[in-house]
Structures are given as structure tokens and as C-alpha cells.
Amino acid sequence: MKLAERNKQALKYALLIGVEPVYVLDENGDRIVDYIDEHGVAHYRVTGDKQKIYSDPIDFRANIAFSGGEIRAVEFGINDSNYDASLLYTLSEFPIDETSLIWYKSEPQYIGTDENRHVDPNSADYKVLQVKDSLNFTKVLLGKLVSNSPVAL
């Protein structure tokens, strides 16, 4: 059994690729050099905070449903009642996992410039709460991100 193409919608996903320190940036969005060591390597000023770094968003098509929060059943000891939407696509078609972000209506925004440029995780519409595989499909439970609410580490 396949998902009907007419039921799919255009979305974007980004994968978590790491965590890095938050750098102090100048007015141009460039990192401020703290010092240069004896090997000529620049060390940048940091704030002491950490931030998640995501891949550039990737276009994909999947079935999205906005019926979250209605089910109170507990499947395998997991309460599925605290989600806002769900995605459905062919089994293992995309590498989406519990650390991924999803854009539905919003466009991805970016922070920084050049080599300091990375996707702003707060521009995403949803964070992935859970990924469940079945025989033929993958179901992804999504939690709505409130705009200007930072994505927690």
C-alpha cells in the first residue's frame, strides 16, 4: 500500500548535526577573535552557552495531519496525547529522528554569514517528538514550536 501523492504536502526537515558554543558576534555577524595562539589558530570569544546546529533544511513531501492531542491511549507505555500534528510517509523514506525540525508554513531563516551561517532552529514550525515505524509506514509525532521560543538543548 502506498500513500497517495495528492495527500502529500511540501515540507522541509533539518537534522541535528551537533552542538557548539555560542560565539560573540560583531555588528556584521562575524565571530570576534579572542586571541590567536602560537600556531596561528584563531580562538573566538564565546558566551558560555551552547546551541544546537542543524543541517540546511531539505525539501520533502509527506502526509501531515493536525489531529494531535485527542488520543489518550497508551501504546507500549508511551502517552501520545501531547502532540500537535503527525506526519506519515513510506517506511524509512527520510532520515528524520527525534532531534529533527520540520517547516510547514514558515520558511527557514538563517543566523550569521559565510562560514558562520546556520539555520535558525526557532524559525521551524515543529520539533519531532517521536518516530514510530510500522510494517509499511513511518509515523512522526510533532510538537508545535512557539515563535521566538528557543529550541531547548
User: How many structural domains does the chain have?
Assistant: 1
Mean pLDDT of 74-89: 71
Q: What is the pLDDT of residues 100-152, one digit of tens each?
A: 999 999 999 998 777 778 899 999 999 999 999 999 999 999 999 976 555 65
Q: Tell me what pLDDT residue 69 has.
A: 54
Q: Is residue 151 part of a domain?
A: no
- Neighbour tally for 56: CB within 10 Å: 13
Q: CA dist 58 to 30, 31, 81, 103, Å?
A: 26, 27, 28, 10
Q: What percent of the chain shows pLDDT beyond 90?
A: 61
The cell numbers describing 44, all together, are 573566538
Q: Is residue 153 part of a domain?
A: no
Domain that holds residue 115: 5-20+51-144
Q: Is residue 42 part of a domain?
A: no
Phi-psi category of residue 77: left, alpha or beta, with phi > 0 → left and psi -120 to 50 → alpha = left
